[in-house]
Structure formats: structure tokens, C-alpha cells
Amino acid sequence: MNYQHAFHAGNHADVLKHVALLALCDALLAKPAPVFALDTHAGAGLYHLQADAAQRTGEASGGIGRLQRGLHPAIDRYLGAVADCGAMHGADAYPGSPWLLAHALRAQDRIACCELQPGPLDTLKAALGGDARVAIHGRDGYGAMKALLPPKPGGAAFNRGLVLVDPPYEAQLAEFDAAFAALRDGLQRWPQGMFALWYPVKTRRALARMQRSAAAMPAKSLLQVELLVRADDSPLRMNGSGLLVWNAPWRFDDTMRQATKALVQPLADGPGGGSIVQWLRSPA
């Protein structure tokens, strides 16, 4: 495995994923019942945008670097969390999904993070290992959906929560087969959970089969949320990204429809940018 998220932290795909992740957390926090979050492909948890890796690609300057407050409340919420991360870890700090989960969730909530590579795993342990709510596993995140769901950290059952699946797609489209097999299992084990799978968009044509498979999963609903920064017609680069969200919470579709529309203008590179928020399976 070669993928290092440090080269991509804060890019347009992270912006979409992290705005959506915080919106899902906020929906869960509307009730006092404890929440469980599983981050199957956690990464390092904390990045520095002035570090060599991020500077070499400059991707953050096409993502978080283009945003300002006032575009939409969900984007302000994300920018507020990034600012809090900067206040704690230095002005160039950028939070990974485990950090955002730990920041958003409460004392009664629990978080499990899986990361396979030793380097990011060490950074993740240094960033969040001291937080008693967070369990860090150096194991395969797909297998964790079998081992850790339904969630019973500390012996207590959790009815509410989410699973974020954010693989590196080194296997290209074949990654969907592995992700869907694990997600099917996870949805059967924990039908109350919300499950979100991030994916890159290169060409629209390549995504048709995976959308059909996604809609056939055992869940009440499936929402597709995409942000395109260019036309989705070239296999050579990431032209946008999306999230498939099974069992999305009430009004999450409205929030993401407005938030992604507000992200298009600042993040698009020329014509062809846009957003898609649609139900691939409507809630009953």
C-alpha cells in the first residue's frame, strides 16, 4: 500500500467528506442517547498543511484554502472545527476524520478507528490515544465491520451512530466490491446505523454499476451526495467525489443539497463543476 493521505489533506474531497461527516454527527447529537462511530479507514487523524507532503501537492489550496465563512451554516460548522484544530495544534493543522469525530461527539459517545499503515497509525495514536472515548485499532477496517458491529463498547449496546468508510481506492473500481461486501454485512448487523462510503469521481460512466449495487443494499434508504470540481469525463484525474449514505438522517439531504451548491463556485476549476444530491433509494 502506497497511499498517504498527508498529500491530500484539506483538498476538495476532504472538504465534502468532512462537511458531511459533521452534519451527520450533528443529526445524531440531536438526541441525548449515546452514539457510536466507526471510522474504518481512519488515516493519521491530524495533518499539517505546511508540512512537506501537503506542500508538494498543494491540494489544500484548491480545497479548504478557497473557503470563507458565510457560504452555508454546515460549511461554517466545518470551518469552525478546522479553526479549533488550528488553535490546539498550530495554525496549519488540518483535522482528519477521527479528530473531527472526537471533537464533535460527547462524553457519553464512543469512537472506534481502524488504520492499517504503521506511520499514520502512530500519528493517530499520538493525536487521540489519550482520549478514553476513542479505541484505535491497527487492523483492517472492512473486517472491523464484522468484529465491532453491532457496537457494544464497554458491554453497553448502542442504537445510534455512524460508520464512515473512506478507503484509498488503490484497487480503483475493484475497491467497490470489497467495500460493498463489508457494508452489506455491516448493515445487516447494525440496521439502525448510518453508513457513509466516500468515492472518487473520474468518469460518470464508470459509476453506473456501483450505483446499482449500492441501491440493492439492505437499508431503508440511500442518498448520493456529489461535488464535481470539473466535468466528470476524464479517467486521468479526480474530477470530484461523492458519498453514498445509507439510512441518512432526516433533512440531511436538504442540508447537503444547499451546502454542496454553495461549495461549487469556490471549489470548481472552470466550467463543468456542479453538485448532485439525490435519493438512489427514497426513505419509505
Ligand X SMILES: C[S@@+](CC[C@H](N)C(=O)[O-])C[C@H]1O[C@@H](n2cnc3c(N)ncnc32)[C@H](O)[C@@H]1O
Which residue from 13, 8, 36, 12 is spatially nearest to 193, judged by alpha carbons?
A: 36
Give the pairing of strands 46-48 and 93-95: antiparallel
115 is a contact residue toward ligand X (CB under 6 A):
yes
Give the pairing of strands 134-137 and 160-165: unpaired
Residue 231 or 238 having the CB closest to ligand X: 238
- Interacting span for ligand X (CB under 6 A) from 49-57, 72-80, 140-148, 230-238: 140-148
Which residue from 10, 34, 43, 161 is in contact with ligand X, where contact means CB under 6 A? 43
Which residue from 12, 41, 110, 160 is in contact with ligand X, where contact means CB under 6 A? 41
Residue 145 or 210 having the CB closest to ligand X: 145
Q: How far apart (Å, rounded) are the C-alpha atoms in residues 31 and 103?
A: 17
230 is a contact residue toward ligand X (CB under 6 A):
no
Which residue from 10, 141, 186, 266 is in contact with ligand X, where contact means CB under 6 A? 141
Residues making up the chain, counted from first to last: 284
Beta partners for 243?
Answer: 198, 225
Which residue from 70, 97, 72, 69 is spatially nearest to 83, judged by alpha carbons?
A: 69
Residue ranges in 181-220 that form contacts with ligand X under rule CB under 6 A: none
Which residue from 10, 34, 62, 120 is in contact with ligand X, where contact means CB under 6 A? 120
**Residue 52 annotated among the catalytic residues of the structure:** no
Residue 101 or 207 having the CB closest to ligand X: 101
Q: In the complex, which residue's CB is closest to ligand X?
A: 96
- Terminal Cα distance for the chain, rounded: 41
Residue 166 three-state SS: coil
117 is a contact residue toward ligand X (CB under 6 A):
yes
Which residue from 26, 76, 122, 140 is in contact with ligand X, where contact means CB under 6 A? 140
Q: What is the DSSP letter of 233?
A: B
7 is a contact residue toward ligand X (CB under 6 A):
no
Which residue from 42, 145, 214, 228 is in contact with ligand X, where contact means CB under 6 A? 42
168 is a contact residue toward ligand X (CB under 6 A):
yes
Q: How far apart (Å, rounded) are the C-alpha atoms in residues 180 and 78?
A: 28
- Interacting span for ligand X (CB under 6 A) from 37-45, 128-136, 216-224, 244-252: 37-45
Residue 1 or 30 having the CB closest to ligand X: 1
Catalytic residue selected from 166, 253, 254, 269: 166
Burial 14-36 (b: 16+ CB within 10 A, else e): bbbbbbbbbbbbbbbeeeeebbb
Q: How far apart (Å, rounded) are the C-alpha atoms in residues 163 and 197?
A: 8
Residue 23 three-state SS: helix
97 is a contact residue toward ligand X (CB under 6 A):
yes
Residues found near ligand X in the complex (CB under 6 A) = 1, 3, 5, 17, 41-43, 96-97, 114-117, 120, 140-142, 166-168
Active site residues: 166
